[in-house]
Amino acid sequence: MAVTDKFYDVVIVGAGVGGGAMANRLANAGARVLVVERGNYLPREADNWSVKAVFHDKKYTTQELWRDKSGNAFNPSTFYFVGGNSKFFGAATVRFRKEDFEVLEHEAGVSPAWPISYEDFAPYYDEAERLMGTHGTAGEDPIEPPRSGPYPHPAIGHEPEIEAIAKKLRSKGVQPFSLPIAIDRHEGGKCIRCATCDGFACKLGAKNDAEVRLVGPALKTGLVDLVLDTKVLRFLTDTSGKKVTGIEVEQDDQKNTIHGDIFISAAGAINSAALLLRSANQKHPNGLGNNSSDQLGRNYMAHNNTAMMAIHPFRKNGVTFQKSLCINDFYLSNNVRPYPLGNVQGLGKLQGGMLSANVPFIPEWLMDHFAKRSVDWWIMSEDLPDPENRITLDSDGTIRVSYTSNNLKAHQELVKHWGKIMRSLGYPLILTQKMDITVSMHQCGTARFGTDPATSVLDQYSRVWDLDNLYVVDASFLPSSTGFNPSLTIVAQAVRVSEHLIANVLRSTTAA
Ligand SMILES: Cc1cc2nc3c(=O)[nH]c(=O)nc-3n(C[C@H](O)[C@H](O)[C@H](O)COP(=O)(O)OP(=O)(O)OC[C@H]3O[C@@H](n4cnc5c(N)ncnc54)[C@H](O)[C@@H]3O)c2cc1C
């Protein structure tokens, strides 16, 4: 039977981390689920690990063009496949801190409180870590929030070069710990600890991305249909405007309508905002979810991110898998500044070609020389929600990302301080690159959840305030970006929303 003739309990737009986790939990509880994905499966092939294919030819990146606040077109580094952006993620699966759920004073302003406390959210982190297969060591992180037990898998350990750096850091009073990471590295696992993980797709299926850990197992229940290469154009509502009745989809230039009971937008923070804006109708002239608050698409955040190479010009760094170390000494109160600065974590090992793709005027041989002698870091600081940082649609339908970085002083201070520490460890040459608007990897916040319909787009279970049966379950819901990688928190919220739907909303699941 064609999916257009079937009726589903839940229709999910997007097979990324948010959509995949929803499909997984709902189907395991007996719900009939349809996932509509604009992309296809990413083929497992040699090019997955080719610097040329991934970074120069951009073989897997969308060809789409978006516009920045001045109207300049740019090609975003975003990926449309089963698994979404997690196909290329670094698999750092880190919990936000207890303080991230509360009002947190930053140098440039206030990071708002969440509608739920860390204590109430923690059980969903437990389940999210289990779903993603996170490795880590409880009790090592100096600002670790309370947790109910050990990680599902032990920390992956450091290669000798990274262990040596950790030791030197400790001698300087810094408290490095094992970065929580979701790769298939336990006994019998497929991961070979290669250099092409962070920023690449895994040819072996050994990275615990949303396809491998969430969508694949969901399909095995037999209760999930997945339609591919099908773009959702808009949500359709009934005449009252209170209920979504279906989605309009486009496949092979043909338009169709699919019906269901509950609808989940999990298209990613930018595309979910765009989709809800595109769904404007008579009852919702400014897009679905915009009537009560005019907040849809606003408060876009993406972190202040800097990649750093700490180079010893004469000593090679023989490390292969570098993303195993994390530093939180500067995340909350710290001895550098009287305000939070951010997180530092190992970056997947840089290769010369990855650098020359971004800085073409420096020859690849020189970049390669540096990359072989560098230790590489990802330095990440919170950007604060600003209603003027927003996603809108231009008159021709193109997505516009109007974004001006904020809280930059704290970020620059962290970059400077980490550079100083690296020099003191014997790496005299420091190269940094701040990520620009094209690097939308940590996009979030465009439909924040809250307790007040006047200031938020979603209620605390991610339901759009203005509609009875429309939910947004991807990075859109985050009211603050925090200074950590978002995927584990997206999965945790998906688990939470699924449990809420199963217990309170769905009519025909076995658990209902
Ligand atoms: C290089 C890189 C490294 C990263 N490293 C980390 C890391 O180490 N740790 C971490 O936590 N996070 C990391 N991230 C970020 C992480 O991958 C994302 O936060 C997360 O995957 C977002 O999940 P999502 O469900 O919000 O959206 P997405 O992953 O964007 O998924 C949305 C899905 O919806 C589909 N879709 C979009 N529009 C439509 C439409 N109209 N119709 C149908 N389908 C649609 C897309 O194709 C996609 O599959 C990284 C990202 C990148 C790119």
Q: Which of 340, 263, 355 is nearest to 55 (CA)?
A: 355
CA of 164 to the centre of ligand 1 (A): 34
Task: Label residue 419 left, alpha or beta by phi (over 0 means left) and psi (-120 to 50 means alpha).
Answer: alpha
Ligand 1 atom closest to the Cα of residue 272 is 38
Question: How do residues 490-503 score in pLDDT, each as one tens digit?
Answer: 999 999 999 999 99
Most ligand 1 atoms within 8 A of CB, residue of 66, 441, 443, 458 to mutate: 441
Answer whether residue 512 is part of any domain.
no
DSSP-H helix ranges across 425-511: 487-500
What tokens appear for 439 in the block?
């690097």
Q: Is the CB of 211 under 6 A from ligand 1?
A: no
State which H helix or E strand residue 120 sits in. Answer: helix 118-132
CA atoms within 13 Å, Cβ hemisphere of 251: 17
Q: Is the CB of 311 under 6 A from ligand 1?
A: no
Name the residue with tokens 């437990």. 126
Answer whether residue 511 is part of any domain.
no
| Identity of residue 379 | I
Ligand 1 atom closest to the Cα of residue 82 is 49
ipTM: 0.99
Say how far apart CA 401 and CA 437 lie, in whole Å.
8
Answer whether residue 23 is part of any domain.
yes
Compute CA distances 467 → 8, 63, 102, 191, 462, whole Å: 18, 33, 28, 44, 11
Q: Is the CB of 87 under 6 A from ligand 1?
A: no
Q: What is the pLDDT of residue 53?
A: 97
In this structure, the residue with its CA closest to atom 23 of ligand 1 is 17
In this structure, the residue with its CA closest to atom 41 of ligand 1 is 232
Q: Is the CB of 16 under 6 A from ligand 1?
A: yes
Q: Is the CB of 37 under 6 A from ligand 1?
A: yes
Please give the angle made by the CA atoms of 376, 150 and 121, to the nearest 5 degrees: 90
Answer whether residue 510 is part of any domain.
no
Cβ-contact 333, 395 below 8 angstroms: no
**Helix, strand or coil, per DSSP, at residue 211:** helix
Q: Which of 440, 435, 434, 358 is nearest to 399 (CA)?
A: 440
pLDDT by position in tens, the chain (length 512): 677 778 899 999 999 999 999 999 999 999 999 999 999 999 999 999 999 999 999 999 999 999 999 999 999 999 999 999 999 999 999 999 999 999 999 999 999 999 999 999 999 999 999 999 999 999 999 999 999 999 999 999 999 999 999 999 999 999 999 999 999 999 899 999 999 999 999 999 999 999 999 999 999 999 999 999 999 999 999 999 999 999 999 999 999 999 999 999 999 999 999 999 999 999 999 999 998 889 999 999 999 999 999 999 999 999 999 999 999 999 999 999 999 999 999 999 999 888 877 777 778 888 889 999 999 999 999 999 999 999 999 999 999 999 999 999 999 999 999 999 999 999 999 999 999 999 999 999 999 999 999 999 999 999 999 999 999 999 999 999 999 999 999 999 999 999 999 999 996 444 43
The parent domain of residue 279 ranges over 3-505
Q: Is the CB of 55 under 6 A from ligand 1?
A: no
In this structure, the residue with its CA closest to atom 31 of ligand 1 is 16
For β-strands 66-68 and 73-74, DSSP reports them as antiparallel
CA of 281 to the centre of ligand 1 (A): 28
Cβ-contact 493, 24 below 8 angstroms: no
User: What does DSSP assign to residue 212?
Assistant: I
CATH code: domain of residue 30? 3.50.50.60
Q: Is the CB of 440 under 6 A from ligand 1?
A: no
CA of 209 to the centre of ligand 1 (A): 10
Q: Is the CB of 355 under 6 A from ligand 1?
A: no
Q: Into how many domains does the chain fold?
A: 1
| Identity of residue 195 | A
In this structure, the residue with its CA closest to atom 27 of ligand 1 is 268
Q: What is the pLDDT of residue 509?
A: 42
Q: Is the CB of 231 under 6 A from ligand 1?
A: yes
Q: Is the CB of 89 under 6 A from ligand 1?
A: yes
Answer whether residue 88 is part of any domain.
yes
Say how far apart CA 131 and CA 143 lie, in whole Å.
24
**Helix, strand or coil, per DSSP, at residue 416:** helix
Q: What is the pLDDT of residue 361?
A: 78
Q: What is the pLDDT of residue 1?
A: 66
